[in-house]
Structure 1
Amino acid sequence: MMRRFIPLIAASILACGCPRPVQYSRPALPVPHAWPDKSPGPAGAPAAADLKWREFFSDQRLQSVIELALANNRDLRMATLNIDKVQALYRIQRAELYPTIAASAGAEGYRVPENLSGGDEARTVAQYTVGLGTASWELDFFGRIRSLRSAALERYLATEQARSATQISLIAAVANTYLALAADREELRLAQVTLEAQQASYDLIRRSRDLGIASDLDLRQVQTQVDAARVEIARYSAQIALDENALNLLVGAPVASGMLSDNLSEAGAVKDIAPGLPSEVLLRRPDILAAEHQLKAASANIGAARAAFFPRISLTAAAGVVSSDLTNLFKPAAGTWNLAPQAILPIFDSGARQAAYRVAEADRDMAIATYEKAIQAAFREVSDALSLRTNLMAQQDALQSLVNSLEETYRLSETRYKAGIDSYLSVLVAQRSLFAAQQQLVGIRLARLSNLVTLYKVLGGGA
């Protein structure tokens, strides 16, 4: 029987021809070959993807908070569990390449009535069987199962990259929230110092007013500054509470107060990184790699859809022993086997297979568009971060110079007031300007550090 079936298989393959495997070709990058910002990066700085997050963030307390987030964040946990799920699905798909062998044992008994037994009395017939066999194992001559296995593998690899992308985003979000909290704590401390200075001025002017030296106008003017500082303290106290709540949510567990920083300069100690070239950087980002794996999976599905146009050859086989007497079941004479090969060649299906093939091609084209869109979005993110880097540094330098000038202005105004040359109004104006400039300086320092964290993220660091 098998000798007759082998020519049938060969004839089916020769008549239909073997489909060629779908060759994957990476699409060209739909972005320029250089970043719009032509300013050179730090000399000798490493690429972000080569710099581990522990090396990029130098503050040990921030490192501890990030470690806690990586252990407890629920989004990252779900991404990790999704890897396990897709890995199991890949193993299920891969198992279809091999036969499923099952053991079976059975016993059957039935009574043959007298009028059918061919004798003078009824007979009782018994049959016992033990065997091993496989049912409908598809012989993958045309690559259908191999294509589906490749697609499942690429989806599994995509989930691994998706988890890395989730980790990168989590690290950046934790760092930015941590820095915002440190900045608000520094703003609160600045407001408290300002309030202490304003309160001391208020007490001094009130005593001067009681002695007839200062006027009520001077007293009311300094009272406005005291009240304004109190408002700022209340505002930053509320913002700190919101920052702590946001950080606890990101981390997935309460963050101890000892792990938090009051100094933005210490919390924001980070390493310099080099932007590199788009072709080197973008293709290493986990989200881009995940999109490419999804594209490869869609291309593999085309191979499976193409294989549907060719015969599907399957094999059912079993071997074992059978006997009507249980004592003779395992004797050599009880051996038996069966082999049932089958070849199904689709002829007419109202265009269903052709439609399925077009669906696979459309999915592949959509995956290409998604992949190119991901690259374009990544290119914009890096370009924006690079453009801001130089400008924010220039703003910080200018604001630092402004704060230094206003500190000297405030000192001179206070000296002239105590000497009786100017009114207290000039002191108030200098104080107000200095406090506003100090607040702006903290804000621009936070913006610059957040920009560096964002640049590290969009360049693929932290995986």
Structure 2
Amino acid sequence: MTPRPSPRLALALALPLALGACGLKPAPEIATPPPELPGAFFHAPTGETGASLASLLPREDQAFAALAETAMERAPSLAEALARIDLARGRAARAGAERLPNVTADASLREQRINPAQFGEAGASGLIPRNLTQYGANVAASWDPDLFGQLRAKERAALARIDASSAQAAAVRNALLAEIAASVIDWRTLDARRAALEADEAAASRLAALAATREMAGLAPGFDRVRAEAQASASGSRLAALESERVRIVGRLVALTGMDAAGVSSALAATGPAAEVPEAPMALPSELLANRPDVLAASAELAASDADLAAAARARFPRLTLSAVIGLLAFDPENLFDSNSIVGNLTAGVAGPLLDFGRIEAEIDSAAAGKRAAFAAYRGAVFQALGDAEAAYGLIEASDEEAQKAVRERDQLDRAAALADVRYRAGLADFLTVLEARRAADASGERAAAAIGRARRARVLLWQALGGDPPAASPSEGGAAVE
């Protein structure tokens, strides 16, 4: 006949549950309303355009392709971000393992010396040995059934932080690609500026040679030659100044890609395609919530903080722990595997807070504050994304207008310089008129090249502001769902 459990035992088991239930109250509610976004970007282009987000980067440029590929393999900042994903995965695996039983095994050899006299007559008769040796081996198992979901909440928080780390890695990747693209565009812009300055220098040198010929023929004073030579020297000094900008670009790419300066210079030496300024793609502000890695990371952190709050609130509930031990115990090695050597026990324990003097409430308050902070950070990320996109669209609009006017100015000044030269050779204008026309035309080509470069750079900023390349699937997707 199976013995019935003692009423006192049942009362002892139920008492912590009753005490815990008396102290329970709902977890604080933290409102997280979605941010309100405008219906469209203020500076977005009107009408439908066929441009895609991917076309905003100079993907056809061999230098960009080579540097970007190397950066994805060697960039220290990206390697650090990927390591943080592995760190988050390890913590999530640990949180998931906490929901499973814990099984341990041990073996022991214990040598004990006792005083038989403490057992009275039995010890004096020699029935109890002075030296006692015990041989044992045990397998122990313990399990928390997680009746109130505290462990499940902790696992949800850990999984959400995998998503946050993955989104942060995507943000680092996008930032790398944007910086490399901007650097390559700057390099190509320097090439265009150098070509324009070399043309200016050549034109000024031709004028100086013409002035020298006229001076030798006694048709013009030496002052005309000196002014023409000074203008050629000015173009030459601007050409020399471009080298300092090239050095800075190489140094920036070394830091971004993890390559040495020789490798970066070799990649940049590849001939680039013709500078094209793609149109800005149409987009809606709501797309920022799905594409921006920093917004996705902030959203995942908000989900993790919500799970942290749930776990803190559920710490007020009692915890049920089941444990069992089965083993072997003998006083002689030969008897260790006898059936009489088998020992074991089975335990069910309940523990809950009784008087913690506000410890759990402090944890709940901290978790609630963490969730409020995470929500504020999420809203900040959303409006940062909105501001970046608005600024990028506005910058494209302004830089496009600047580039169009700079190109128009260059063409008009070149035409004016050519007409002045024709009139001078026909004897209808003096050398000073030709020199002034050439001086006005000088640097207009450089300004136009720089303006086109700024317009191309604005496209890179828009690519990054709109979220860059589509985010990869979350590492936590496809796994077992947490109930």
TM superposition score normalised by structure 1: 0.90
Q: In the alignment, what sits opposite 1:309?
A: 316
**Do the aligned partners of 1:19 and 1:307 also contact (CA within 8 Å) in 2?**
no
CA–CA distance in 1 between the matches of 2:145 and 2:320? 6
Q: Report whether the alignment pairs 1:178 with 2:184.
A: yes
Pick which of 369-378 and 148-157 moved more.
Answer: 148-157
Query: Which residue, out of 272, 275, 293, partners 2:300?
Result: 293
Which residue identity does 2:223 align to in structure 1?
A: L
Q: In the alignment, what sits opposite 1:321?
A: 328
Q: How far did 1:258 drift?
A: 4.2
**Do the aligned partners of 2:16 and 2:354 also contact (CA within 8 Å) in 1?**
no
Instruction: For residue 467 of structure 2, give the secondary structure of its aligned residue in structure 1.
Output: coil
CA–CA distance in 1 between the matches of 2:416 and 2:328? 105
Q: How far did 1:275 drift?
A: 3.2
C-alpha change, 1:8 and 1:453, in structure 2 (3 Å) is farther
Q: How far did 1:263 drift?
A: 7.1
C-alpha change, 1:199 and 1:433, in structure 2 (3 Å) is same
**Do the aligned partners of 1:21 and 1:143 also contact (CA within 8 Å) in 2?**
no
Q: How does 1:360-399 map to 2 (within 5 A)?
A: 360-399=367-406
Q: Deviations over 1:324-363 (max 9, x none)?
A: 2221211222221123332222122222221221111111
Q: In the alignment, what sits opposite 2:467?
A: 460
**Do the aligned partners of 2:254 and 2:264 also contact (CA within 8 Å) in 1?**
no
Q: How far did 1:30 drift?
A: 3.6
C-alpha change, 1:52 and 1:262, in structure 2 (3 Å) is closer
CA–CA distance in 2 between the matches of 1:12 and 1:365? 32
Q: In the alignment, what sits opposite 1:418?
A: 425
Q: How does 1:147-296 map to 2 (within 5 A)?
A: 147-254=153-260, 255-260=263-268, 266=274, 268-269=275-276, 274-296=281-303
CA–CA distance in 2 between the matches of 1:369 and 1:143? 27
Q: Report whether the alignment pairs 1:353 with 2:360.
A: yes
Query: Which residue, out of 91, 94, 106, partners 2:93?
Result: 91
**How many residues were matched structurally?**
457
Percent identical among aligned pairs is 24
Instruction: For residue 139 of structure 1, give the secondary structure of its aligned residue in structure 2.
Output: coil
Instruction: For residue 293 of structure 1, give the secondary structure of its aligned residue in structure 2.
Output: helix
TM superposition score normalised by structure 2: 0.86
> Which portions of structure 1, spanning 4 or more consecutive aligned residues, are displaced by more than 4 angstroms?
1-26, 261-265, 268-273
Instruction: For residue 256 of structure 2, give the secondary structure of its aligned residue in structure 1.
Output: helix
Query: Which residue, out of 114, 118, 142, partners 1:116?
Result: 118
CA–CA distance in 2 between the matches of 1:389 and 1:398? 14
Q: How does 1:429-444 map to 2 (within 5 A)?
A: 429-444=436-451
Q: How far did 1:283 drift?
A: 2.7
CA RMSD of aligned residues (A): 2.8
Q: How far did 1:52 drift?
A: 8.9
Q: How far did 1:139 drift?
A: 3.4
**Do the aligned partners of 1:209 and 1:216 also contact (CA within 8 Å) in 2?**
yes
Flag structure 2 segments of 5+ consecutive residues without an equivalent: 472-483
Which residue identity does 2:97 align to in structure 1?
A: A
Instruction: For residue 125 of structure 1, give the secondary structure of its aligned residue in structure 2.
Output: strand
C-alpha change, 1:68 and 1:2, in structure 2 (3 Å) is farther
Q: How far did 1:111 drift?
A: 3.2
Instruction: For residue 442 of structure 2, give the secondary structure of its aligned residue in structure 1.
Output: helix
**Do the aligned partners of 2:298 and 2:381 also contact (CA within 8 Å) in 1?**
yes
Q: Deviations over 1:241-289 (max 9, x none)?
A: 22222222222103344422687763x5576563321113333211100
Which residue identity does 1:105 align to in structure 2?
A: A
